[in-house]
Amino acid sequence: MRTQLIPLIGAAIAVVLQIIVAPLITFFSVVPGFIVSYVIVLGILRGGNSMYWYAFVLGMIADLLSQTPLGLTPFLLLIAVFVLSRVFEVLDQTTPAMPLIACVVTLLVFEVLFAVGLLIAGYEGGISLIVSRALPATLINAIICVIYYFLMRRLPFERESSSAWTISQTQRFR
Partner 1 sequence: MALKFPNKKFSFGGQLGGSVVLVALLVVSLVTVVLYTREGDDGMLHGLQDTTSAVTSPLSTIGVTTGSLAATATTSVEDLTASDASLSQLRENNAQLAQMVVELEEYRQEAQRLEAQLGLADAYGFSYVASRVVGYSADSYNRVLTIDVGSNAGVKAGLPVMGTTGVVGQVIATTPLTSQVRLINDAQSGVSVMLQSSRAEGILTGSVDGILYLENVDENVEVKEGEAVITSGLGGGYFRGLVIGTVARIETNQSDGTRTIVITPNATLSNISEVLVVIGMNNDGAASENGANATALINAVNPQTLNSGSAQNQQNQDQAAEQNNADSSEGNSDESSQDDE
Minimum CB distance to partner 1 smaller for 26 or for 97: 26
Tell me the closest approach of the beta carbon of residue 79 to partner 1, in angstroms: 7
d(CA 61, CA 16) in angstroms, rounded, equals 11
The interface mask with partner 1, positions 37-76, x = CB under 8 A, is ------------x--xx-xx--xx-xxxxxxxxxxx-xx-
30 phi/psi in degrees, rounded to 5: -100, 130
Burial class (CB in 10 A: 0-12, 13-18, 19+), 2: exposed
Burial class (CB in 10 A: 0-12, 13-18, 19+), 66: middle
| Binding of partner 1 by 108 (CB under 8 A) | no
Distances (CA, A) of 48 to 34, 79, 88, 164: 21, 13, 11, 9
Q: Which of 24, 154, 156, 169 binds partner 1 (CB under 8 A)?
A: 24
Give the range of 3-11, 24-32, 37-45, 148-156 binding partner 1 by CB under 8 A: 24-32
The interface mask with partner 1, positions 110-139, x = CB under 8 A, is -----x-xx--xxxxx--xx--xx--xx--
Q: Under a CB-based contact definition with an 8 Å cutoff, are residues 47 and 162 in contact? A: yes
Applying CB under 8 A, the residues found at the interface with partner 1 are 16, 18-24, 29-31, 33, 49, 52-53, 55-56, 59-60, 62-72, 74-75, 78-79, 82, 115, 117-118, 121-125, 128-129, 132-133, 136-137, 162-168, 170, 172
